[in-house]
Amino acid sequence: MNYSEIASINVNEHLEKKNNLSYLSWAWAVDTLLRHDSDAFWEYGELHYMQDHTVMVYCTVHAFGRHRTAQLPVMDYKMKGVPNPDAVQVNVTMQRALVKAIALHGLGLYIYAGEDLPVEFKQDGSVDKPVDKPVDKILETPKVEVSKVEVSVESKEIVVPPSANEAAAVDWVCSFVNEFIPTLATVDSLRDFWKINKSVLTRVEKFSKPMYQALETNFKERAVELKGKA
């Protein structure tokens, strides 16, 4: 399956609600992934401990001929990092990071974008042809709040206020970039996006090299994929 086909799957019947947030059932996500790619597998990176003793979890899913890495901090019900989390909290975050990494392949990604249906679905339930979201429309969002951290996105440049909480800001930047990469349709646009946001990406690298390397890998994989289509 290609990205558009995976992204067109309606996952709404398998969402779970908790604290007014929607979560995709990890068991269903894994089952669906393996039904479409029986050779798919995943692995977790080493836990990354921050200076405030909170923890970042990494999960890489290898599927459909490529691998994508997602990161997720261990958080409480207020969406704030948990200092010195116990095994149960880490395990829950690992499962959510797995679902997020699967979403980077397309399955349920529209949930993270705040959509109630994948773009290929009409309101009457019929299926339409995949529609790529225009680059300008995605980047027009003026402000995004993550745990009271504002990240401004103007034109094609990601702007992070200097006073932003570093962990929350970097996590949001990585999530946004990973979700945005598949929308770039040419190698030139991919290269331009990287150059324009070099300062922000350097900020990610200084904060966490594993997070930066995961972004770099996703960029390279997308470039190879686009070159193959040329």
**Identity (one letter) of the amino acid at 99?**
V
Condensed to tens digits (0 to 9), the pLDDT of residues 8-54 reads 888 888 887 765 567 788 888 999 999 999 999 999 999 999 888 99
Condensed to tens digits (0 to 9), the pLDDT of residues 61-104 reads 999 988 999 999 998 877 788 999 999 899 989 999 999 999 98
Residue 187's H or E segment, with its range, is: helix 187-196
Average of pLDDT values for 174-198?
83
What pLDDT score does 214 carry? 81
What pLDDT score does 125 carry? 41
Maximum average pLDDT range among 4-8, 44-48, 186-190: 44-48
Q: Is this prediction's pTM over 0.85?
A: no
Strands 21-24 and 15-18: what pairing?
A: antiparallel
C-beta separation of 170 from 207 below 8 A: yes
Average of pLDDT values for 104-111?
86
Q: How many CB atoms lie within 10 A of CB 71?
A: 23
Condensed to tens digits (0 to 9), the pLDDT of residues 131-157 reads 333 333 333 333 334 433 333 444 467
C-beta separation of 120 from 130 below 8 A: yes
CA 113 to chain centre: 9
